[in-house]
């Protein structure tokens, strides 16, 4: 598992400013629940200064910590000051995030940008800016270029850690490499060889699945009144039962199952398939 700072743990276990600001002056929605992460940021703004900020998220512990940190950073800032906040500021506030979790800070920055655009009456159509490069996670070339420039990234792995792009089927890796080469000017850069899947013993895999469900997925689902329980593991098939609000509607239920699956594939091994017990 990752080495989280005390501040990340504190903001995960005691998130600040959870919920929605009543009569919000700015709302920023980002992410896609089907991809495992979604964040809503709401702001109250008085005389161009942020007097209150709250968040709701469906994401892992780092996403909760990053969103909580963002709301703390934002309070008292003018909109011009808020506009200058980057994902690195969010990570710095938390005394750092594991690189594999930097996409959580990027999601915070994107939610802030969306909220500022909303406050200023600027319409941002999703995916309008740029072409989708990673179909698995719906990440555009504009987003990839931005994180490469802002964070000095130079490898596909880093882009995956910051945006999730490339973290699924990997078919977008050549396109991501092309963007890296273009942005960094490293036209001759070698395409990093794909990392071989880590061999994991069955016992270790089962333990990691249980830990991931208990520590990452279940707490995130509980935020939205849902939950998941591990029922059984047979090879790479993980049997779970879903509970709470996600079971009220077949679409939400299917999305939640697919989110649990994508989370486990991301955090344990890509070979896993999640099925609901009857």
Which residues does the annotation mark as catalytic? 35, 104
Pick the binder of ligand FES from 171, 237, 241, 249 (CB under 6 A).
171
Tell me which residues in 27-66 interact with ligand FES (CB under 6 A): none
Number of chain positions touching ligand FES (CB under 6 A): 11
- CB neighbours of 70 closer than 8 A, spacing ≥ 6? 41, 53, 55, 85, 90, 108, 111, 112
Percent helix, strand, coil in the chain (nearest 5)? 45, 20, 35
Burial of 225 (0-12, 13-18, 19+ CB in 10 A): exposed
φ, ψ (nearest 5 deg) of residue 56: -130, 135
Cβ distance to ligand FES smaller for residue 101 or 265: 265
**3-class secondary structure, 39:** strand
**3-class secondary structure, 87:** helix
Shortest Å, Cβ 135 to ligand FES = 4
**3-class secondary structure, 227:** strand
Strands 132-134 and 237-244: unpaired
**Selected range binding ligand FES among 38-46, 55-63, 160-168, 256-264, rule: CB under 6 A:** 160-168
Shortest Å, Cβ 136 to ligand FES = 3
Pick the binder of ligand FES from 135, 149, 182, 207 (CB under 6 A).
135
Cβ distance to ligand FES smaller for residue 79 or 165: 165
| CB atoms closer than 10 angstroms to residue 122 | 10
d(CA 241, CA 232): 10
90 within 8 A of 73, measured Cβ to Cβ? yes
Pick the binder of ligand FES from 159, 163, 166, 238 (CB under 6 A).
166
Pick the binder of ligand FES from 168, 227, 242, 265 (CB under 6 A).
168
Token pair in block for residue 18:
């959870």
Q: Is 124 in the site for ligand FES (CB under 6 A)?
A: no
Cβ distance to ligand FES smaller for residue 120 or 135: 135
Q: Is 156 in the site for ligand FES (CB under 6 A)?
A: no
203 within 8 A of 275, measured Cβ to Cβ? no
**Selected range binding ligand FES among 54-62, 141-149, 167-175, 248-256, rule: CB under 6 A:** 167-175
Cβ distance to ligand FES smaller for residue 110 or 175: 175
Q: Is 165 in the site for ligand FES (CB under 6 A)?
A: yes
Pick the binder of ligand FES from 44, 138, 170, 243 (CB under 6 A).
170
d(CA 253, CA 221): 12
Question: What residues make contact with ligand FES under the rule CB under 6 A?
Answer: 134-136, 165-172
């Amino acid at each position: 598992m990752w080495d989280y700072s005390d501040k990340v743990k504190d903001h995960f276990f005691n998130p600040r400013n959870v919920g929605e600001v009543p009569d919000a002056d700015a709302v920023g929605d980002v992410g896609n629940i089907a991809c495992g992460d979604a964040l809503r940021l709401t702001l109250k703004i008085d005389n161009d200064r942020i007097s209150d900020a709250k968040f709701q998220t469906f994401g892992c512990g780092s996403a909760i910590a990053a969103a909580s940190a963002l709301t703390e950073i934002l309070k008292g800032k003018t909109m011009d000051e808020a506009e200058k906040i980057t994902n690195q500021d969010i990570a710095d506030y938390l005394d750092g995030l594991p690189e594999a979790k930097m996409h959580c800070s990027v999601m915070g920055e994107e939610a802030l940008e969306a909220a500022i655009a909303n406050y200023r009456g600027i319409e941002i159509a999703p995916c309008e800016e740029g072409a989708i490069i990673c179909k698995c996670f719906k990440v555009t070339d504009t987003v990839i270029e931005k994180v490469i420039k802002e964070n000095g990234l130079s490898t596909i792995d880093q882009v995956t850690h910051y945006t999730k792009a490339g973290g699924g089927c990997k078919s977008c890796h050549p396109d991501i490499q092309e963007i890296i080469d273009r942005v960094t000017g490293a036209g001759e850069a070698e395409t990093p060889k794909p990392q071989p899947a880590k061999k994991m013993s069955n016992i270790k895999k089962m333990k990691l699945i249980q830990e991931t469900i208990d520590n990452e997925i279940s707490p995130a689902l509980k935020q939205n009144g849902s939950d998941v329980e591990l029922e059984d593991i047979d090879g790479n098939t993980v049997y779970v039962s879903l509970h709470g609000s996600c079971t009220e509607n077949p679409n939400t239920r299917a999305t939640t199952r697919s989110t649990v699956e994508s989370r486990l594939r991301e955090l344990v091994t890509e070979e896993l398939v999640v099925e609901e017990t009857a």
